[in-house]
Amino acid sequence: MRHRVSGRVLGRSSANRRALRRNLVTQLFLHGQLETTEAKVRAIRPAAEKLITLAKRGLRSDQAGQVHARRLAAARLFGKQAVSKLFDEIAPRYEDRPGGYTRMVKLGRRRGDNAEMALLELVEE
């Protein structure tokens, strides 16, 4: 039974799962879209939305709040380039939007293993 068990395992150990999530969210922010399995998209979408909200709050706060928000984002992403793109390009784009920064588009099944594929992309204004 899975009563009260949260999160998706994705067939990986906890450290591998954490690294996978960090990689996928980083790639989403760097490239604007990401094509992977539907299960992985459903697993990382909330994390991406929360990071964009964190960046928006960081933009609205004072200097100390901005530094704190950038450090929190850097702990959840790989590379300074992804953090700077999140705060300098992505967060200002969604400043007036209350939520729903990403869109999942189902692409059908992958030919090799018949896995459900999906495209996760940042919503354009």
26: in domain:
yes
In CATH, what number is assigned to the domain containing residue 55?
A: 3.90.1030.10
65: in domain:
yes
Residues of the chain with pLDDT under 70: 125
Residue 57: what pLDDT?
Answer: 94
Nearest Cα neighbor of 102 from 43, 58, 19, 14 is 43
- pLDDT tens-digit map of 77-104: 999 999 999 999 999 999 999 999 999 9
Q: How far apart are CA 14 and CA 20, in angstroms?
A: 10
7: in domain:
no
Number of domains composing the chain = 1
- Sign for the CA dihedral angle at 70, 73, 75, 77 comes to negative
Containing 109, the helix (H) or strand (E) segment is strand 102-109
Asked whether 103 and 33 are in contact (CB, 8 A), the reply is: no
Domain around 91: 14-122
Query: How many C-beta neighbours within 10 Å does residue 19 have?
Result: 13
